[in-house]
Chain A
Amino acid sequence: AQSVAQPEDQVNVAEGNPLTVKCTYSVSGNPYLFWYVQYPNRGLQFLLKYITGDNLVKGSYGFEAEFNKSQTSFHLKKPSALVSDSALYFCAVKTGRRALTFGSGTRLQVQP
């Protein structure tokens, strides 16, 4: 079985400050981890993925995520938040030939 937990329903941060959106996972075997973003009334857009290799993964729009195998985490980070980053963020995990399993989502609110 595979599962993802996003412990925060909402994260509030001031524009220009660093942001972190948390994600932990549970799988049997090697995980493939993804972050997606959803803007209102839109589909999900891919941000970044961890497959193998460097634990720090860089993605679109200045976002990055750190894979931590011992803590089974894959937190999303950005050094300086923008108001336009306000959206719903989903962490997802996949193993082998299974489909993606998503977390419940975290709403990021960046205040001007």
Chain B
Amino acid sequence: NAGVTQTPKFQVLKTGQSMTLQCAQDMNHEYMSWYRQDPGMGLRLIHYSVGAGITDQGEVPNGYNVSRSTTEDFPLRLLSAAPSQTSVYFCASSYGTVGGRNTEAFFGQGTRLTVV
């Protein structure tokens, strides 16, 4: 049981390049989310999904796209990288609700992205 797996762990991009951050979970979780972590700002929600085929924007969605074609995978695409997107990115997944009660989220180890 691998949990939530993010790849790559580190990435350096040039301004204007595009790339996809991968996230996969093997727990059959409904909910998946992408956050970015910046010093002093906590984790800010980029996009999230409550199930395959369903996505929604979070607090800071500009410059990022997502899709959820399967339950297991939730890739995050940077369309044209900018220095402001330098950050640590975390993917999370959860059951959403069990017996009507919200459950905790499990996090990947993060992707450290630098845009130069």
**A contact set with B: CB distance below 8 Å:** 6, 9, 32, 34, 36, 42-46, 49, 51-52, 90, 94, 97, 99-105
Contact = CB atoms under 8 A, between A and B. Distances in A.
Given A9-B40, A44-B90, A44-B107, A101 B102 contact: no
Interface of B: 4, 31, 33, 35, 40-45, 48, 50, 58, 90, 92, 96, 101-102, 104-110
Given A99-B48, A101-B45, 9 more contacts: A32-B101, A44-B43, A46-B106, A51-B102, A52-B101, A97-B50, A99-B45, A104-B41, A105-B42
A17 B42 CA distance: 27
Contact of B42 (A43, A99, A102): A102
A60 B78 CA distance: 36
A24 B41 CA distance: 16
B87 to A, nearest CB: 14
